[in-house]
């Protein structure tokens, strides 16, 4: 039952919302309830530190007191006055099962969330959190997995259940899709900005589909198998240094390919020791060519050198800083920060690469 809104109440609402509109918003990478001893480096002393903890993304908790205590209060009062509180229950603006992500040149970080069926946008410059749920005009996301920067002004998202690549503009408005009828279960996504080619991992069909920026199919890379250039349930992708990196998940390796699909080499091997691969998921590189692989089964981020030599593990199962619980995607930004979607801990952990 809705409460009657009197002229006086309407005036109060207008004043509250008007005051909130001018409140500056602040985004922090260190939520208030983060661990007090949050300064961590890897490897620990006496070794030379190569990485430091640079924060985490969770959702509304990343936005400071000015937004939460003032704008948030105004919104809550407004909902109470008009009796809409029950409509918004259970729709917390927090990550549920983050899976993949990308950060653009403006510092905006986009995170796909399969638990929330949405894309979270952490806008540092504007101090705003946006949640994009719409995939097409009359269709919401169901299982958004991969995400990549498309041509200027566009964001690309794969939805493994909708079986397509969704195109969104910079405000999150759907502007089209492609791959319908071509893709079985699209997951990983990467783009070659020089050629305007989009690579999509089709996990169900064990191959990589390549499209142009308009969504026109160009070619298919690979087929099911365990030889070079063949895949068994590929999942995550990255494109860096003119080459395509593929998490060949059920073959327990990452393959590095030329854009035409020619195999260059593979990294990792199946095994039970730290540094081996069992279920590789996210993959990315840093500015020096080091390779980062998320080992989803044993909850590690594994770091390899340019030639595939194993350098360092970070992780282990848990909730502490530097630990993970079923991590998935990984990516880096222009500041050489490494982001890990720590899926079942409902957060994105950020590491700063300190250099060799």
**pLDDT one-digit tens code per residue, 179-214:** 999 999 999 999 999 999 999 999 999 999 999 999
Q: Strands of 4-62 (E only): list them.
A: 41-42, 51-57
pLDDT tens digits, one per residue of 154-183: 999 999 999 999 999 999 999 999 999 999
In whole angstroms, what is the distance from residue 233 CA to residue 217 CA? Answer: 20
- Parts of the chain with a pLDDT under 50: 1-5, 9, 11-22, 67-90
Q: In what order do the strands lie in the sheet with 98-103?
A: 98-103, 108-113, 118-123, 128-132
In whole angstroms, what is the distance from residue 33 CA to residue 233 CA? Answer: 38
The model's pTM is 0.88
Tokens of 73: 């209060």
Specify the pLDDT at position 356.
73
% helix, strand, coil for the chain, step of 5:
15, 45, 45
Tokens of 166: 């969704």
Specify the pLDDT at position 109.
98
**CATH 2.120.10.30: which residues of the chain?**
31-61+95-353
Other C-beta atoms within 10 Å of 215: how many? 17
Dihedral sign, Cα of residue 239, residue 295, residue 307, residue 105 = positive
User: What is the H or E stretch that residue 13 is in?
Assistant: helix 7-21
Alpha-helical regions (H) of 188-296: none
Architecture in CATH of 31-61+95-353: 6 Propeller (2.120)
In whole angstroms, what is the distance from residue 83 CA to residue 1 CA? Answer: 7
């Amino acid at each position: 039952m809705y409460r009657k809104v009197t002229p006086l109440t309407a005036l109060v609402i207008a004043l509250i919302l008007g005051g909130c509109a001018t409140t500056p918003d602040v985004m922090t990478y260190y939520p208030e309830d983060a661990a007090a001893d949050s300064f961590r480096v890897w490897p620990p002393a006496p070794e030379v530190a190569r990485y430091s903890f640079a924060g985490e993304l969770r959702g509304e908790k990343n936005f400071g007191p000015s937004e939460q205590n003032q704008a948030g209060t105004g919104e809550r009062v407004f909902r109470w006055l008009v009796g809409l509180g029950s409509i918004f229950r259970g729709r917390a603006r927090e990550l549920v099962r983050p899976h993949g992500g990308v950060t653009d040149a403006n510092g905006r970080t986009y995170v796909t969330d399969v638990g929330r069926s949405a894309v979270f946008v952490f806008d540092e410059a504007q101090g705003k959190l946006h949640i994009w749920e719409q995939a097409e005009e009359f269709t919401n996301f169901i299982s958004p997995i991969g995400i990549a920067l498309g041509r200027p002004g566009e964001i690309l998202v794969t939805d493994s259940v909708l079986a397509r690549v969704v195109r969104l503009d910079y405000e999150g408005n759907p502007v089209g899709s492609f791959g319908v009828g071509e893709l079985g279960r699209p997951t990983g996504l990467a783009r070659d900005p020089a050629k305007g080619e989009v690579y999509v991992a089709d996990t169900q069909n064990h191959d990589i589909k390549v499209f142009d920026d308009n969504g026109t199919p160009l070619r298919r890379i690979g087929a099911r198998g365990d030889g070079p250039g063949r895949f068994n349930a590929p999942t995550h992708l990255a494109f860096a240094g003119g080459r395509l990196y593929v998490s060949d998940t059920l073959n327990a390796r990452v393959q590095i390919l030329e854009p035409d699909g020619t195999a260059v080499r593979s990294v990792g091997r199946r095994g039970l020791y730290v540094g081996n691969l069992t279920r590789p998921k996210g993959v990315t590189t840093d500015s020096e060519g080091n390779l980062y692989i998320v080992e989803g089964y044993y909850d590690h981020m594994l770091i390899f050198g340019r030639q595939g030599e194993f350098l360092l593990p970070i992780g282990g199962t848990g909730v502490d800083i530097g630990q993970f619980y079923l991590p998935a995607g990984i990516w880096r930004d222009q500041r050489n920060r490494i982001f890990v979607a720590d899926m079942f801990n409902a957060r994105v952990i950020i590491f700063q690469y300190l250099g060799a």
